[in-house]
Chains A and B, each alone.
Chain A
Amino acid sequence: MSVEEGIALLFLLAGCAFYLAGTIGLLRFPDVFCRLHALTKADNVGLGLVCVGLALLSGQARVASMLLLIWLVGLLAATVSAHLIARHAYERDAPPEHEGPS
């Protein structure tokens, strides 16, 4: 197991930790907005770390650029989704119980 694979393994494990945090946040947080916040942020950091680990493993520049593109589009998708769902949930239900920054 070369040093490169070791480092890649560390990145993969860190990515898993963030995915776990995202899932726990999704299950444990009180209302939609906290869950949305936890989910979109944590999962994308997890995806980024997994992409870095895999880029290290593959070693080719073409594959690394493809992974970077996937991560960037993932970030775009997460921001769009988070904004749209939060506004949709905010309009339909009463504003969140705790005093958000109005």
Chain B
Amino acid sequence: MMDVALPAVAVFLLLNLVAGMLRVYRGPTLADRMLAALLFSTTTVAILLLMAEWMAMPALRHVALLFVMLASILSLAFVGLPRDADEEDT
């Protein structure tokens, strides 16, 4: 039963990712597109953890931990963009 539920949850999270892409396309400002990157980071971590449990590969949990640590650096880099580089792309 569990080896059906885990992939189903993982696929559902993937569909969430695809829905997040809509915000990337429509997002007026750069910050909106950055939000989709945030969504990607947390959702990817959850998918990795599900796969670690489903495929019994403990190494994937360390990958998920790495992803979570990178998530905060993601927004640091975004805020650190030079002023003119992050103008709204009209």
Q: Interface on A for B, CB 8 Å cutoff? A: 1, 5, 8-9, 12-13, 15-16, 19-20, 22-23, 26-27, 32, 35-36, 39-40, 43-44, 46-47, 50-51, 54, 57-58, 63, 66-67, 69-70, 73-74, 76-78, 80-81, 84-85, 87-89, 92-93
- Is the interface on chain B under 10, 10 to 19, 20 to 34, or 35 or more residues? 35 or more
Q: Interface on B for A, CB 8 Å cutoff? A: 1-2, 5-6, 9, 12-13, 16, 19-20, 22-23, 29, 31-32, 34-36, 38-39, 41-43, 45-46, 49-50, 52-53, 58, 61, 64-65, 68-69, 71-72, 74-76, 78-79, 86
Q: With A69-B65, A74-B68 given, is the CB distance from A47 to B34 under 8 Å?
A: no
A87 to B13 CA separation, bound complex (whole angstroms): 29
A89 to B64 CA separation, bound complex (whole angstroms): 28
CB-based contact B35/A36 at 8 Å = yes
Main secondary structure of the interface of A (DSSP, over half): helix
A76 to B83 CA separation, bound complex (whole angstroms): 26
Given contacts A32-B32, A93-B29, list 14 more A-B pairs with CB under 8 A.
Answer: A1-B2, A5-B2, A9-B5, A19-B43, A23-B19, A23-B20, A26-B35, A70-B61, A73-B68, A77-B71, A81-B72, A81-B74, A85-B38, A87-B79
